[in-house]
């Protein structure tokens, strides 16, 4: 099967690797860059495209996708991997209601 949507391709590769219990997933860099450009995503994307072997991923302990970090104006990480109600509560704490 040929998938022309780079995001669908990426998610399929990740799903298949998880099902097969692989430690790594190969994601072609060109597909990722194309997907980001095609979707006109306007947030910062940080990746060396080395998957789980990424130095930054190892330094910051990224063990799931997506990983998220709230960074203050000085560059200090003030929260990590918050989702749902925890993220909402932290944002209210920072910015108010």
Contact predicate 9/3, CB 8 Å: yes
DSSP code at position 66: S
CA angle 23, 12, 86 (to 5 degrees): 75
Query: Residues 46-90: pLDDT tens digits?
Result: 677 777 788 877 887 877 777 778 888 888 888 888 888 998 899
Contact predicate 24/53, CB 8 Å: yes
Which range of 2-6, 22-26, 42-46, 57-61 scores highest in mean pLDDT? It is: 57-61
């Amino acid at each position: 099967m040929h998938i022309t949507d780079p995001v669908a391709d990426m998610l399929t590769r990740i799903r298949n690797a998880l099902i097969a219990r692989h430690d790594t997933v190969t994601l072609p860099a060109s597909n990722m860059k194309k997907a980001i450009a095609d979707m006109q995503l306007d947030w910062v994307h940080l990746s060396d495209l080395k998957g789980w072997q990424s130095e930054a991923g190892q330094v910051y302990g990224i063990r799931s996708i997506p990983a998220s970090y709230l960074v203050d104006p000085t560059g200090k990480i003030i929260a990590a991997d918050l989702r749902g109600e925890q993220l909402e509560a932290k944002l209210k704490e920072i910015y108010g209601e």
